[in-house]
């Protein structure tokens, strides 16, 4: 399953420096190719991507019946994978937010027609967003190398919680709520490119147990790492590293006025060939 997946083979990386290198190379490549005047900087692009990662989760949360957390994770993963290979002057984060959501809904069989997908938006936005989503569908798939299988940490999270409920006497329902809240913050960071879903899920539970005063180390030692002498030590090291990434990431979000300034700057320097708002836009599912 996961061990044989493209998710593990092609979308997990050794460290944060490697991930940043991929993003920077993608940014530089498109800046050199298009050479716009006063381009958005790499740092500004990074902040805008963080902003729209949060907006993507908000957007997915308005549907009824609710979009499953694993499907939201799929959409968020697509969105962030794109910018390991592409740049915002070509594929604007706002456009990619809607495109990745619609593709994830289809892949994970959260079945909506395009009209149902657009219905949650204000009427004045529906036509443009519909045009954008349809125009960029194959482009998004191309940017992802058609590797659309995403393994969510929500399944191992719930599996671990169920096992703890059977083996452990602690209040698991309270732990479930706190772990899911922690996970919703964690998956906004680059941990999705560094760790398999099971390790992301374990981190969410471990940190939540610490906050609630629940002793999880006995459960981990006896049930998860009973045949691995160094397993517990390695697991805690991974947990601490993930938690530090989350803390650093949470200090880098934009206020409303800040992201709007960057968005306006991007609108003036983006490649019009990829801009559905441009009157000369003729692009439709172009391969990149």
272: pLDDT strictly greater than 60: yes
Query: Which pLDDT score is estimated for 1?
Result: 87
Same domain? For 37 and 127 the reply is: yes
For residues 114 and 226, membership in a common domain is answered with: no
Asked if residue 172 and residue 82 are part of one domain, the reply reads no
The answer to whether residue 162 sits within a structural domain is yes
124 and 200, same domain (yes or no): no
Residues 13 and 141 in one domain: yes
Q: Examine residue 108 and state whether it is found in any structural domain, yes or no.
A: yes
The answer to whether position 239 is within a domain reads: yes
**Is it the case that residue 281 has pLDDT exceeding 80?**
no
Q: Verify that 48 and 146 share a domain, yes or no.
A: yes
Q: Is residue 96 part of a domain?
A: yes
Query: Does 6 map to a domain?
Result: yes
Q: CATH number of the domain at 172, please.
A: 1.10.472.10
Are residues 93 and 139 both part of a single domain? yes
Same domain as 161, residue 136: no
48 and 60 fall within a common domain? yes
Q: What is the pLDDT of residues 63-112, one digit of tens each?
A: 999 999 999 999 999 999 999 999 999 999 999 999 999 999 999 999 99
pLDDT at 287 over 60: no
Tens-digit pLDDT profile for residues 113-161:
999 999 999 999 999 999 999 999 999 999 999 999 999 999 999 999 9
Is 231 domain-assigned?
yes
Confidence label for 170 from pLDDT (cuts 50, 70 and 90): low
Residue 59 lies in a domain: yes
Residue 43 in this model has a pLDDT that exceeds 70: yes
Range of the domain at 191: 154-249
216-259: per-residue pLDDT in tens?
Answer: 888 888 888 888 878 889 999 999 999 999 998 876 666 777 88
pLDDT in tens, 179-227: 999 999 999 999 999 999 999 999 999 999 999 998 888 888 888 888 8
Residues 6 and 129 in one domain: yes
**DSSP code, position 220:** I
- 39 lies in some domain: yes
Q: How many domains in the chain? A: 2
State both tokens at 209.
Answer: 């147990």
For residues 34-45, average pLDDT: 90
Among residues 132, 130, 103, 105, the alpha carbon closest in space to that of 119 is found at 130
Q: For position 121, what pLDDT does the model report?
A: 96
| Same domain, residue pair 208 and 70 | no
Residues 173 and 122 in one domain: no
Residue by residue, what is the 3-state secondary structure of the chain?
CHHHCHHHHHHCCCCHHHHHHHHHHHHHHHHHHHCCCCCCCHHHHHHHHHHHHHHHHHHHCCCCCCCCHHHHHHHHHHHHHHCCCCCCCCCCHHHHHHHHHHHHHHHCCCCCCHHHHHCCCCHHHHHHHHHHHHHHHHHHHHHCCCCCCCCCCHHHHHHHHHHHHHHCCCCHHHHHHHHHHHHHHHCCCHHHHCCCHHHHHHHHHHHHHHHHCCCCHHHHHHHHCCCCCCHHHHHHHHHHHHHHHHHHHCCCCCCHHHHHHHHHHHHHHCCHHHCCCCCCCCCCCCCC
């Amino acid at each position: 399953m996961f061990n044989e997946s493209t998710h593990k083979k092609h979308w997990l990386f050794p460290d944060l420096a490697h991930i940043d290198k991929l993003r920077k190379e993608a940014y530089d490549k498109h800046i050199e190719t298009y050479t716009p005047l006063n381009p958005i900087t790499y740092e500004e692009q990074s902040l805008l991507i963080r902003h729209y990662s949060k907006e993507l989760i908000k957007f997915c949360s308005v549907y009824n019946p609710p979009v499953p957390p694993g499907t939201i994770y799929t959409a968020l993963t697509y969105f962030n994978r794109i910018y390991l290979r592409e740049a915002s002057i070509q594929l604007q984060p706002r456009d990619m937010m809607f495109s990745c959501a619609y593709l994830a809904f289809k892949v994970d069989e959260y079945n909506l027609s395009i009209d149902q997908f657009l219905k949650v938006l204000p009427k004045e936005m529906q036509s443009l967003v519909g045009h954008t989503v349809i125009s960029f569908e194959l482009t998004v798939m191309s940017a992802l190398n058609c590797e659309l299988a995403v393994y969510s940490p929500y399944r191992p999270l719930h599996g671990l919680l169920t096992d703890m409920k059977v083996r452990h006497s602690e209040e698991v329902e309270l732990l479930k709520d706190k772990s899911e809240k922690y996970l919703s913050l964690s998956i906004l960071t680059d941990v999705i490119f560094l760790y398999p879903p099971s390790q992301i899920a374990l981190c969410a539970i471990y940190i939540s147990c610490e906050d609630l005063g629940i002793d999880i180390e006995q459960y981990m030692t006896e049930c998860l790492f009973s045949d691995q002498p160094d397993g517990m030590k390695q697991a805690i090291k991974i947990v601490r590293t993930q938690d530090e990434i989350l803390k650093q990431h949470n200090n880098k979000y934009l206020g409303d006025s800040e992201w709007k300034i960057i968005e306006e700057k991007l609108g003036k320097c983006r490649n019009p060939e990829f801009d559905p708002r441009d009157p000369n836009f003729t692009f439709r599912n172009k391969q990149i």
